Structure 1
Amino acid sequence: MRRREALCAIGSVLAAPGWAQDGSARVQVPDVRLQDQSGAAHGLRALCGGPVVIGFFYTGCSTVCPPQTAALRALRERLDAGAPKAGAARARLLSITVDPLGDSPEAIRAYARRFDVRLGLDAGWLMLTGQPAELARVWRAFGVPVGDPEAHSSLLWLGSARDRWTRAAALTPTARLAELVGSIGA
């Protein structure tokens, strides 16, 4: 079975969460274990215990993922330099693959090097992969279209496991993203 067909089969039962008119939604963050770029396992719900920005990507993307990665890098730098609210500096960035069959920890490390991204819990940014069935639960929770990695969304999800989530375009100006992160849990 080719990659696209395999991902379509995984995603055929996925449904999007209900978003309110103000752009917010309750997202039930699934209790799944994903692997970071080093191969270490992390519980997604635990990673989302505080302010978090989640983007979906894949390492073979040549359209939206490179500018989204650059935007997240700029956001991480701004948050580290002193965000508008104290809590925003603690925000974690998570980039989650939409192509688990192609995005191994090694592929993710190479992608991060290509974009000069510093990753790790101490850096406040993880790039995550995992088993397709586990990732399918994540995609379903966030309403991510599945089946063709090239058709993935360029939205960022901002929130925490305890709060409502909001979405923003990946290319939203960095200052605005930092404001949105600062308002999580406020």
Structure 2
Amino acid sequence: MNTSLLRRREALLSLATLAVAPAWAHGTGHEPLPDAPTAPGDSVYRLDAKLQDQDGRSFALASLQGTPVLASMFYTSCDMVCPMIFESIHANLRSLPAREREAVRVLMVSFDPARDTQAVLKKTAEQHNCDSRWRLARCDEATARKVAAVLGIQYRRLGNGEYNHSSTIDVLDAQGRIVARTGKLGAADPAVAAALHKLPLRAG
């Protein structure tokens, strides 16, 4: 990875460690936020981000440690690029041997929390055939921007309420380090499978 980009991400992670959980994360019915092992300096899990998934469960970004993750961002009202991101992740998962496929988890974070409520995320997960390995998540706008920064994803809101955004999909190792990245849409990227082949996998 480019040294200047790595330094920039580490600086952003340092600035983001005081992120505060959004108010909607403190209601009843949410799982507790577990303590996670300390992540290495170049891990995206250094970001103290609190999220809520499609099932209404609150979780810390760092709780995803322990298994490879495909991570990207989206918004549910997108009718062009975002559906293709879902399709591309499915294609990349299908390209893997069964054991590797079962070990990989998927994180999709919305950058449109005002419209992407938990119920909307739940419906979207069903529409895109996302099983229990997938977490479609929301957070406050400030946290979404920090997540985008550490994942290397760019987006901006347009005047009509839609978004211009990149189609980046990151491959994270078990400690949250970005080991590969793709912007290929509609089909599997061999670079993703190659990166995952090199990682120790833990199914479950």
TM-score by length of 2: 0.66
Pick aligned residue for 2:193 from 156, 175, 178 = 178
Amino acid at match of 2:83: P
Pick aligned residue for 2:181 from 146, 156, 167 = 167
**Amino-acid identity (%):** 24
Name 1:3's counterpart in structure 2: none
Name 2:107's counterpart in structure 1: 94
Name 2:44's counterpart in structure 1: 28
TM-score by length of 1: 0.71
| CA deviations over 1:112-162 (Å, ceiling 9, x no partner) | 2222x1332xxx211111222222221221232243252111010112335
Task: Rate the CA distance shift 1:170–1:19 in 2: closer, same or farther, 3 A.
Answer: farther
Task: Rate the CA distance shift 1:108–1:168 in 2: closer, same or farther, 3 A.
Answer: same
Name 1:61's counterpart in structure 2: 78
Q: Is the 8 A contact 1:35 1:129 kept in 2?
A: yes
Amino acid at match of 1:153: S
Aligned pairs for 1:40-59 (under 5 A) are: 40-59=57-76
Q: Is the 8 A contact 1:27 1:164 kept in 2?
A: yes
Amino acid at match of 1:62: D
Q: Distance in 2 between matches of 1:119 and 1:88?
A: 12
Q: Distance in 2 between matches of 1:172 and 1:48?
A: 28
Give the match's secondary structure for 1:167. strand
Aligned pairs for 1:12-23 (under 5 A) are: 18=5
Q: Is the 8 A contact 1:31 1:43 kept in 2?
A: yes
**Comparing both chains, which one has the higher relative contact order based on Cα–Cα distances under 8 Å and sequence gaps of 6 or more?**
1
Query: Following TM superposition, where does structure 1 have runs of at least 4 consecutive aligned residues deviating by more than 4 angstroms?
Result: none
Deviation, structure 1 residue 172: 7.0
Q: Is the 8 A contact 1:53 1:181 kept in 2?
A: no
Give the match's secondary structure for 1:54. strand
Q: Distance in 2 between matches of 1:99 and 1:185?
A: 34
Q: Distance in 1 between matches of 2:110 and 2:167?
A: 12
2:171 aligned with 1:158, yes or no?
Answer: yes
Q: Distance in 1 between matches of 2:6 and 2:185?
A: 21
Name 1:74's counterpart in structure 2: 91
Deviation, structure 1 residue 27: 4.4
Bigger Cα displacement from structure 2, 128-137 vs 160-169: 160-169
What's the RMSD between the two structures over aligned residues?
Answer: 2.8
2:124 aligned with 1:111, yes or no?
Answer: yes
Structure 2 gaps of 5+ residues are: 8-41
Give the match's secondary structure for 1:174. coil
Structure 1 gaps of 5+ residues are: 1-16, 21-25
Name 1:10's counterpart in structure 2: none
Give the match's secondary structure for 1:147. strand
